[in-house]
A and B are shown apart, each in its own frame.
Chain A
Amino acid sequence: MRIVILLYMIALFILHQDFWLKDDASLLFGFLPSSLAYHMVFTVLAAFGWFMVVKFAWPKFAEEQGEASEEAAKQ
C-alpha cells in the first residue's frame, strides 16, 4: 500500500503543471476560471493522499511513541 501511496503522490506532483490549461480562459459554472478549478480539485486530491498516509502508511516509530505518550498521559 505504501508504494501505491508514493506513486499517487508522485503523480500529483507531476500533474500540478497544468500546461494544457494555461491559456484556457473558459469559466466553469460561469465564474470559476478552468485552471483555478483544476487546482481546487488538485488540493482535494492532495488532502485525500494525506488521508491515505494517515490510514495506511503511518510510520512505525510514531505509532510506538504515540501509544507510549497516551499511556503516560493516563498515568
Chain B
Amino acid sequence: MTQTYIVIGYLCLLLALGYVSSRFFRGSSNDYFVASRSIGPVVLFMSIFGTTMTAFALIGSTGEAYRVGIGTYGKIASWSALIHTACFFLIGLPLWSLGKRNGFHTQIEFFRARFESSKFGYILFPILIGLLIPYLLIGLMGAGSAMQGVTRGAFPELFPETNGAVPAWLTSLVIAGVVLYYIFAGGVRSAAWANTFQTIVFMIMGFLAFYMISSKLGGLEAASAMADAEKAVRAGNIGELQFFSYFLIPLSVGMFPHLFQNCLTAKSSKTFRLTFVAHPLAIMLTWIPCILIGLWATGAVMPDGVTRIIPEGTNPNSVLGIMVGKLTSPVIGGLVTAGILAAIMSSLDSQFVAVGTMFTKDIVVHSFGADRFSEKQMLWIARGFVTTIVVVTYLFTLVEPRQVFSLGIWCFSGFAGLFPLVFAAVYWKRATKAGAYAAVLAGGITWFLLFQASGYGANRSFLIGGAMPVVFIFLACAAGMIIVSLMTKPPSETTMAKFFPNKS
C-alpha cells in the first residue's frame, strides 16, 4: 500500500512540473514542437538518454537477462554504446543542421524536401506511426506489469482478481493520463524538463534497488553465487551470428521520429557534445544493475533458503517488479517503482509529442496549408491526434500478451530496417525519389512478412539462418534504395545545392 501512495505522490509531482513548465510556454507551435530550438547540453543529454531508455531498458533487460542470461547486455547495451552515438553523430548532427537551416520540424518534412516528393510523406507517415504504436505499447504495458508486480497483496479487497495488486490496466490508464497532461501543458519543453527530472530519478532509484536487493541476498558475491551458472555465460543462450547481428538494432535511433525532434531542439551543434560522451556511460550505469538483478533472479531464494523468489513460469516482464517487491522495504519499493515509471514516462512523452507534431505538420498543414489554421487550432489538432493514438494503444494493452523485450525488438527492427533511407538521404547525392519509395516499400513489406512468420512476435527465438530478422529488413531497404536510385534520374540541381551545399 505504501508503494502505491509513493507512486501517486510522484505522479502528482510530475503534474506540478507540467504546470510550471506551462508557465514558460510561449504559445507558438514552434515552441510547442521544437522548444524554439533553445535546449542546452545537459537537458538535451537527459532528454535523449531518457527517451532511449524505456520499459525495454529496465523491465525488458531484467526479464531478458532472467531468460537468456548476461549476453543481454552485450547484444543490446554495449552495441548501443557504440552505435547509438554513431547515429547521433552521423545522422542527428547533420539533420539538426539541415533542420535549422531549412526550418524542418519533422523527419517527413526533411524527406519530402530531400526526395522532392510531397506524396512520399503520405507513405512514410502511416509506417512511422505503425511502428511507434508498439513502442508506446511497450511503455504502457511495462508500467502496468511493474506496478502489478510490486503491489501484489496490497489491496486484496479492492482488486481480488489480481491477488490484491493494482491491475495493469489501471496503471497504464493513469500513466497515459499524466503524460498527456504535462505534454499538453508545455509541448516538447515540458517533455524535455520532465525527461531530465525523470532520468535523474530512475538512475538513482536503479542504484538504490540494486543495493537493496544485493544486500538482502547477502551481498554481491552471495547473490551471484545463487544464480543459475548457465545464465552467467553467453554460450547456449545466444548464438554467435545472432549476437553479432544485433548490431543493427541500435540503428533504429537514426529513424526514431521522436529523437529527430529531440535533436532539433538543440541550441547549437556544440550542445550535442555532452550527449556523445555521456550517453554510452549512462547506458552502462542503467543496464548493469538490471542485468545483474535478472541474473540473480534465476536462482535467488528467500531467507528460508528454499522458496524461489521468482516462481517457475513467471512472465519475464514481472521479474524486476517481483524482485523489488519481495526484497526491498515498502518505502524503497515505492521509490524504485516510481523510478521505473519515470523511465517509461520519459520515453512516452517525447513519443506523444512526436506523434502530434507529425500529424499536424505532415498531414494537416501539408494538405490544407499553413494559413488554414491558427496557432491555437494547430496545437489542438496535435493534441487531438495524440489522444486518439494513445486511446488506440491503450486498447491494445488490454489484449496484448507479448513480452516487452520481443515486442521491442520487432519495433526497433522496423526502424533500424529503414536506416538506409535516412543514411542515403544525408550522404548519397545520387539517392532519388523512386529509390526512397522502393526502400520504404521493400523494408516495410519484408518487416511485415517476417513479423507475420514469427507469429506476430509470439516466437521469441525467431531467427533466419541464426541471424536476427533485422538483417533482412535492412538489406531489402538498402537494395531497394541503391538499385532503384541508380536506375532513375538524379535529384535536381536545386535539391543538390540545398542538401549538399559544400559538395555540389
A residues apposed to B, CB below 8 Å: 9, 12-13, 16-19, 21-25, 27, 29-33, 35-36, 39-40, 42-44, 46-47, 49-51, 53-54, 58-59, 61-63, 65-66, 69-70, 73
Contact = CB atoms under 8 A, between A and B. Distances in A.
Contacts of A42: 74, 78, 81
23 contacts: A12-B82, A16-B82, A17-B243, A17-B244, A22-B233, A22-B234, A22-B240, A23-B233, A27-B221, A27-B224, A29-B220, A31-B221, A31-B223, A32-B224, A32-B292, A36-B292, A42-B78, A43-B77, A47-B280, A50-B279, A62-B269, A62-B272, A69-B267
B170 interface: no
B220 A30 contact: yes
A33 B82 contact: no
Contacts of A50: 85, 89, 276-277, 279-280
Interface in B256-288: 267-270, 272-273, 276-281, 283-284, 288
Nearest 8 A/B pairs, CB to CB: A69-B268, A62-B269, A66-B269, A31-B220, A23-B235, A30-B221, A31-B224, A47-B280
A23 B236 CA distance: 8
Majority-rule SS of B interface residues: helix
Chain A at the B interface: SS class: helix
Contacts of A21: 234
Contacts of B283: 43
A39 B268 contact: no
Given A23-B233, A25-B232, A50-B89, A36 B268 contact: no
A23 B231 CA distance: 10
A4 to B, nearest CB: 16
Contact of A69 (B100, B235, B243): B100
A43 B280 contact: yes
Contact of B81 (A30, A47, A51, A58): A47
